[in-house]
Amino acid sequence: MGDGLARILTKQSFDPEAFIAKLAIDGEDALLDMRQKVHALNEDTAQALKKNVYKNYSQFIETAKEISILEGEMYQLSNMLTEEKSLMSSMMKLSLVSDKAMVEGPKEEKKEESPEEETRRNLAFLLEKVEGCSSVTEVPGRHLVHDTDLVEVEPETFVQIQRTHAFLLSDSLMMATWVPTRRGPMRYRFQGLYELDSLAVVNVRDAGPIKNAFKILMFPETRMYQADSAKSKRQWLDILEDTKKKKAVKDKQKKEAANRLSDQLSPSPVNSPMGEKGLPSPVFKDAPEEPVTIDTDFLQADWLEELPEDLDMLIAQRNFEGAVDSVEKVTEYLKACPKGPALKEFKARIDHRVKQLTDGLMSELQVSPERSLRGGPRAARHAVTQLIRLAKSAQACDLFLKNRSAVIRYNIRQLKFEGATTLYIRCLCTVFFSSLSDTAKEFLKAFPDHYGCYSAFVIWAKQELVSFVSIFRRQVFESKASLTTIAECVQLAKKHCAELSSIGVDMEFSLASMMDLPIQQVIEETRDQMVEGIKYRTQDELWRPLNLQNKADCDKFVAEMKALGFDVKPYVSDVCFVALTHNTVQFAKSSLTFVDDLLRLYTIELENMIALAIQTVFTAQMQQFQAALKSDKFQSERSTIVKNAQFVGEKVIGRIFTLYQQNDVTLPLQLQTVQMNFRQIK
Amino acid sequence: MSKAKTQQPAVIHKVIMVGSGGVGKSALTLQFMYEEFVEDYEPTKADSYRKKVVLDGEEVQIDILDTAGQEDYAAIRDNYFRTGEGFLCVFSIKEQESFQATQEFREQILRVKNDENIPFLLVGNMIDLKDQRQVTYEEALKRAQEWRVPYVETSAKTCVNVDKVFYDLMREIRSRKMEAIRQNNGKQKKREKKRKCTIL
């Protein structure tokens, strides 16, 4: 029915006049009926409109939220991509077969700058490739300069012997032979390590059928190697020469330094390296032959052999959990393994991976400016848990808390300071303390049984509180806000802080101790302002009763005072006169606010200070009364002055006593003295 | 790999060129190897060559190690010298200093090889530039006689006595090897090294 009408009305060709005319033929009833119908339709439409608007509105909000979340995710995605890129490039750098390992001038310089770091990376990688070279990688400062495949050739007969891989390190040349039966990256076996000091290199210019060859003379051995191209050979010769020179320079510097040191002691240490040079020997050659067999059996399991690669893959896929699982598994397994060099080597490989894994996890927790902080504390938990499993709880704890700090800072920065200080402080307190309590809860969940980390949390919470207080101070104390505002803000902070104790974090005392000084200052300032005000106002006090002109206003005044807790009825006379002066009323009001604020700021430490401030203010007022009484000018107003003094002494101070009682604070002695003094005014 | 096995002559004589920088060691070597003279001078680091030659009707291989006159490190030079069976100690007749330096090379070789009778030839190069001669034939010969080694004057440029010095040295090496075989009578190797003291 209603639908039918709506259809007619919304028709394109709807002609209202014809419609009405048609209706009018049926008479008044039909018209009234129609009117009702239109009315109902109107209401329905309004309802529908409202609903639609609301529906669209909520949809709009949702969409906006989605968009912002999407934005955050895009950020994260781009972040992940950059990470991926750096991962790739670092892998490229590590790869032994990649062209990147070729030395270029400027790159070389960089290596010199942080040789330690480079060493660990490069040489740890050697462990992957070459069996039995763990001792080589342990020398600090040693790093990989150049490496390629070479074919070893018998120097007399030029018969090709075997495929080898040569690694030029910063101070020595390591040769490794190719093991054809091996799967995986471990395809070379350590053959020998030759010190560059006494290594003689011969460029084989012409050796009949053998092209691109060079010889390494290392007494008593002579080895001949064939490179795969003339370019490669040239490179080897140049780099060998270059590296030798660099080493010689370095050694010379070292020797000079040592010389200077041991000059008076003995000249022999200088001689000994020379002696070694005279009788060079291939160091470490094939040394770990027998012990290897003991633990190699143990490390023969298929999954173990593939583990390092699997770990690489898991890390690259950011499947940190899986990687940690594997690491735990292997650690457990290796515990039972007999100790030996092969185990040591294997462990070194795993350790290398663990380090990468840790780095990955750490970067997950790292706070970077472009990264969205949307994740919240729960997102961090994942990484934290894995780090704890890797026994890196200290780092995890540190990073987690740093992450939280950043989140708090971010959230606080999001707050806009607009309008009232109290409003801002309310938001600030909510954000800060709820973040704090979130963190605490999350911390308890993320670090169960890691009691060592709890102290870190406590320290962190303290630091955060300090920074919170500094913001608080800036906004509250340094903004010249009124005592009332300050009292309100302080109260807010205290209240929020007290709520923290429900999760076992009690920081009220530190908050109080940090706020103590500014509070004292502000109390003193306000007290002085009041005293000044009292003096200023009494200058032009005439001690005339208040004239409120008419009854209505008088009643209004009485009601107003009543609301403040003062009964001024007895002081009313002649319809619209009140026996109190304007100043007295003013003083009553302001002192009441003052005391109220002070009591809100009340702490045991401040008790005395508050009482003293109130006493000072009231004494100042009392002195005004006394001065007026003594003055000849106000001879005729004496009764009014006394009345006013009594009002202050009895009513106002009485009201203050009530405030004290309401706040459960014991009445200080000073105030009673003040009241006694007022009573003596005659 | 099998290619390398194509019946190389079993005997290899290892010759080392020593002498100061720029006296013509490489020039002599290249002249001997390829019958060509290289005008451009470029310091050698350490180059090795091998050539099949017929020595008195016997097919042998000569392995020449052309060393750097400029090599700074004695320890490394030792390593080169150790691999040699015979030495051509070259100086330039138009450069007195290079002649003086031969003394040092001789001493080092004797020390490293620990053998007074090591095959050794004193070679005065560049006789095509006689007008610039600074080292007389007599004084060079005198030194050679002191050392009990032959003295030969050569020119790499005009190819005077180039083959002679190499062949003479190879003959010396060969006769030394024969002698060694006779002495050891069986368990011999080409050269049996004794451990020696290196006194610096």
Is the minimum CB–CB distance between B8 and chain A shorter than 8 Å?
yes
What's the confidence (pLDDT) of residue B141?
Answer: 93
- Asked if A58 and A197 sit in the same domain, the reply is no
Asked if A196 and A171 count as a contact pair (C-beta separation under 8 A), the reply is yes
Are residues A141 and A235 located together in one domain of the fold?
yes
pLDDT of residue A194: 82
Q: Which of B3, B50, B79 is closest, CB to CB, to A198?
A: B79
CB of A274 within 8 Å of a chain B CB? The answer is yes
Residue B197 confidence class, pLDDT cut points 50, 70, 90: low
Q: Identify whether A639 is part of a domain.
A: yes
Q: Are residues A182 and A50 in the same domain?
A: no
Closest by CA position to A609, among listed A544, A494, A524:
A524
Q: Which residue ranges of chain A lie beneath pLDDT 50?
A: 1, 97-115, 266-294, 370
The answer to whether A275 contacts chain B (CB < 8 Å) is: yes
Residue B148: band (very low, low, confident or very high) from pLDDT cuts 50, 70, 90 = very high
Considering only CB atoms, which chain A residues are within 8 Å of B82?
Answer: 217, 219-220
- Taking CB atoms and an 8 Å limit, are A203 and B79 in contact across chains? no
- CA-nearest of A616, A626, A646 to A531 is A616
pLDDT of A186 reads 66
In a domain, A522, yes or no: no
Q: How many domains does chain A have?
A: 4
Cβ distance of A271 and B82 shorter than 8 Å: no
Percent of chain B clearing pLDDT 90 (strictly above)? 41
Decide if A388 is inside a domain.
no
A61: tokens are 């909000």
* A346 in any annotated domain: no
Question: Do both A659 and A595 map to the same domain?
Answer: yes
Task: With both helix axes pointing from N to C terminus, report the angle between A341-365 and A302-316 in degrees, rounded to the nearest 10.
Answer: 20
- pLDDT, residue A371, reads 53
| A460 and A490 co-located in one domain | yes
Whether B5 contacts chain A with CB within 8 A: yes
Q: Say yes or no: A19 contacts chain B, CB-CB below 8 A.
A: no
Do A133 and A223 lie in one domain? The reply is: yes
Cβ–Cβ < 8 Å for B173, B13: yes
User: What angle do the packed helices A582-600 and A483-500 form, to 10 degrees?
Assistant: 20
A672 and A532 belong to one structural domain? yes
| Shortest distance, CA B9 to any CA of chain A (angstroms) | 9
Own/partner pairs for A618-622, CB < 8 Å, 24+ apart?
A: A618/A591, A618/A648, A618/A653, A618/A671, A618/A674, A618/A678, A619/A674, A619/A677, A620/A530, A620/A531, A620/A534, A620/A535, A621/A534, A621/A587, A621/A591, A621/A648, A622/A648, A622/A649, A622/A674, A622/A677, A622/A678, A622/A681
Residue of B nearest to A241 (CA): B45
- Considering the domain architecture, whether residues A498 and A609 belong to the same structural domain is answered as no
Query: Does a structural domain hold residue A244?
Result: yes
Q: How far apart are CA A295 and CA A673, in angstroms?
A: 91
Per the structure block, which two tokens stand in for A484? 């009332």
CB contact under 8 A, A200 and B52: no
Domain identity same for A532 and A674: yes
Would you call B49 and A208 a contact, using CB atoms and an 8 Å cutoff? no
Is the separation of the CB atoms in B84 and B65 below 8 Å? yes
Tell me whether residues B65 and A202 touch, CB distance under 8 A: yes
Residue, of B24 and A336, whose pLDDT is higher? B24
- CA–CA separation, A534 vs A548, rounded Å? 23
The residue from A217, A234, A258 where one domain ends is A258
pTM more than 0.80: no
Domain identity same for A149 and A39: no
Residue A517 covered by a domain: no
Q: Best interface-test mutation with B: which of A152, A156, A163, A268 has the largest number of B CBs within 10 A?
A: A156
CA torsion sign for B157, B158, B163, B168 is negative
pLDDT of residue B155: 92
pLDDT band of residue B187 (cuts 50, 70, 90) is low
In a domain, A160, yes or no: yes
Rounded Cα distance, A476 and A485, in Å: 8
Q: How far is CA A458 from CA A238, A407, A465, A516, B2, in A?
A: 59, 18, 10, 21, 76
CATH number of domain containing A170:
2.30.29.30
What is the predicted ipTM?
Answer: 0.79
Say yes or no: A201 and A67 in one domain: no
Q: What does the pLDDT look like over B101-142, one tens digit per residue?
A: 999 899 989 988 888 889 999 999 999 988 889 999 999 999
Boundary residue ending a domain (A51, A78, A105): A78
Residue A373 lies in a domain: no
Task: Tell me the residue range of the domain where A47 lies.
Answer: 2-78
* Chain B: residue whose CA lies nearest to A198: B76
Tens-digit pLDDT profile for residues B167-181:
999 999 999 888 888
Q: What is the side-by-side strand order in the sheet with A572-573? A: A546-547, A577-578, A572-573
Do A531 and A458 lie in a common domain?
no
**What pLDDT does residue B14 have?**
92
